[in-house]
Chains A and B, each alone.
Chain A
Amino acid sequence: MSLQRPVGSDHQLARLLQIGVVLEEVVEARADQHAQLTDEVTDPELRDMLDEAVEESAEHRDRLESLIDELDAETVPFEEIQTLVAAQYETDRDTDGVLYDQLANEETAYKFYDDLIGAIRASDVEFGVDRDRLIETLSEIREEEADGVEDVTRLMEDRE
């Protein structure tokens, strides 16, 4: 009965990894935007968190892109996503807004990788990339997203 289709082909896997890249690009562009525009950037903890988010997302993006390269699919250039993000998002300038936004970004990314790992594990297709490496990479990224959620939550609690 299940419609929860496992990942069925290299093409579909590449598409899902592309979505992961875009989610990372959104985190990166948003954190960068906050860091540049928020009045609170003088707060060292908040500034560190945003800097780390930018750095970590860029690193995740690279790791996903190298998997996509092996599957022979194109990724969307970061500049394009940055333009879309800048065009669509209103920047929250208060600290709570920034923290909630970062929390939502990290939680969304975590949920996405968790579902993706589940859909890959449910599949018996042989992919163009080594399955163990694929799952290992995605699991590592997922754990870093979970750490990110924890960091933002801690920062929010400290401010209460």
Chain B
Amino acid sequence: MNTADQYLKAIYLVQEQEDGPASTGDVADMLEVSPASANEMIGKLEEEELLNHEKYKGVDLTDEGIRRAREALQNYCIIERFLLEVLEVEEFREEAKQLEGVIDETVAERLDTIIDREPQCPDCFDAEGDVCGLLEPELEASD
């Protein structure tokens, strides 16, 4: 997943959590980058018409931005599920974050062919828990 898509995914999740525009600070926190870096990338994404940025209000994704963000989130879910279901990685959330920058969407799509992902993905993603909402019951059951 490229850097722009990782930003779009983070903005989408912050917007979901806040139920409104995402602040640059929150986006930076989610991605563990500096606010200056986040600002710079947000400017580039605005030029590409993937979001609108209003000072003191925050960032709003455009329809195209939302489409790209949902695709990125779906790829991320695939990586999380693949790590847990196929490779049985306990720290799958942490590892998914490390790997998402190296796993391209074509690769994620191929991994998707051997995991159980529900058709409602990525709507079931729990932004606060940073995990697919449908994976949570499975995780609790395995505890």
Segment from A42-50, A101-109, A127-135, A136-144 that makes contact with B: A101-109
- Contact (Cβ within 8 A) B3 A108: no
- Contact (Cβ within 8 A) B107 A4: no
- Name the B residues within 8 Å of A107 (CB-CB): 106
- Contact (Cβ within 8 A) B87 A3: no
A18 nearest in chain B by CB position: B87
- Contact (Cβ within 8 A) B33 A16: no
Residue A115 at the B interface, CB < 8 A?
A: yes
- Contact (Cβ within 8 A) A15 B95: yes
- Name the A residues within 8 Å of B33 (CB-CB): 1, 3
Residue A156 at the B interface, CB < 8 A?
A: no
Separation of A23 and B112 alpha carbons in the complex (Å): 11
Separation of A81 and B110 alpha carbons in the complex (Å): 13
Add 11 more A-B contacts to A8-B98, A19-B99 (CB < 8 A): A1-B41, A5-B98, A18-B87, A76-B86, A80-B86, A84-B86, A89-B113, A108-B109, A112-B104, A115-B107, A119-B101
- B residues lining the A interface (CB < 8 Å): 2-3, 6-7, 31, 33, 37, 40-41, 82-83, 86-87, 89, 95, 98-99, 101-104, 106-107, 109-111, 113-115
- A residues lining the B interface (CB < 8 Å): 1-5, 7-8, 12, 15-16, 18-19, 22-23, 26, 76, 80-81, 84-85, 88-89, 104-105, 107-108, 111-112, 115-116, 119
Can you name 14 A-B residue pairings with CB atoms under 8 Å? A4-B101, A5-B98, A8-B98, A15-B95, A23-B111, A26-B110, A26-B113, A84-B115, A85-B113, A85-B114, A105-B110, A108-B106, A111-B107, A115-B107
